[in-house]
């Protein structure tokens, strides 16, 4: 795998983990509270969301960079 592609894949995995960790933790806590059953529910939701988030990040980050670079006054 080319170094740039490898970096992009690892970036997607790390960014996905960080984003999904925070979002699912907060949303699960708000919806269920932080009592018994929270950890099991949160881990389940985290795994599902991470599986979805990584490919989304992998494919949409290049598009987001391109769109951002096209905005007036924004240089890559």
Q: What is the pLDDT of residue 69?
A: 85
From the list 45, 14, 13, 11, the residue with the least C-alpha distance to 27 is: 45
Over range 8-30, report the average pLDDT.
96
- DSSP of 12-23, one letter per residue? HHHHHHHHHHHH
Query: For residue 57, what is the enclosing H or E element?
Result: helix 38-69
Residue 12 tokens read as 């997607």
| pTM score | 0.81
Computed from CA positions of residues 6, 8, 13, 15, in that sequence, does the dihedral angle turn out positive or negative?
A: positive
Residue 46 tokens read as 């985290």
Percent of the chain's residues with pLDDT above 90: 80
Q: What is the pLDDT of residue 70?
A: 84
Q: pLDDT (tens digit, 9 = 90+) per residue, 40-49?
A: 999 999 999 9
Q: pLDDT (tens digit, 9 = 90+) per residue, 55-69?
A: 999 999 999 989 998
């Amino acid at each position: 795998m080319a170094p740039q592609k490898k970096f992009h894949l690892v970036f997607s995995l790390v960014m996905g983990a960080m984003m999904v960790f925070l979002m699912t933790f907060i949303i699960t806590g708000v919806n269920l509270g932080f009592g018994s059953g929270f950890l099991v529910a949160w881990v389940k939701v985290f795994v599902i969301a991470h599986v979805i988030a990584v490919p989304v990040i992998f494919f949409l980050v290049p598009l987001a960079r391109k769109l951002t670079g096209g905005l007036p006054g924004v240089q890559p």
